[in-house]
Structure 1
Amino acid sequence: MRLIDPSHPFYRPKWRRYLLVAVPFVWASVEWSQGNTIWAYLAAAIGGYLAWHLVLNWRSDSAD
């Protein structure tokens, strides 16, 4: 089961993919600074999942 579809046209611009990866990591740092470690780990895991699918395994059909 896929949670996101990397081949969708929404994810084509590079800036959008990087922004979607950065937001959960920023939120994880906010949660960590407030002492909510469980939520920080959860947000970081979401960021890692997005990074894996949208940055590390990105296969572009056309030039970005």
Structure 2
Amino acid sequence: MIKFIDPDHPFYRRLWVRLLIVGFCAIWTAVEFRQGENTWGMIFLAVTAYTACVLIIFFKPKTETPVDVKPDTPSEPS
């Protein structure tokens, strides 16, 4: 399945980035409806709903697993 927005990307980890993207889409939707462009308004309404669902409502960050982490081993006495 094609992902238009990959919520696992590190760019979307911060909440303020996700809120800013959804907010921008919502403002652009309002601009289109205000200008009387109902078709574009409906398109951006769908984009806003999609981004809100993916980035806010159903967002579940993956837990990071450290790479090359070795267990603590006591050093040999010299």
Structure whose alpha-carbon radius of gyration is higher: 2
TM-score between both structures, scaled by the size of structure 2: 0.74
**How high is the sequence identity, in percent, across the aligned residues?**
35
TM-score, scaled relative to structure 1: 0.89
Q: Which has the higher contact order (CA 8 A, sep 6+)?
A: 1
Per-residue CA deviations over 1:7-63 (Å, capped at 9, x if unaligned) read: 00000000000111111110111111110000011111101101110000111346x
1:42 equivalent in structure 2: 43
Of Structure 1 and Structure 2, which has the larger fraction of its residues in helix?
1
Gaps of 5+ in 1: none
Tell me how many residue pairs correspond in the alignment.
62
Q: CA RMSD of the aligned region, Å? A: 1.1
Gaps of 5+ in 2: 64-78
Moved over 4 A (4+): none
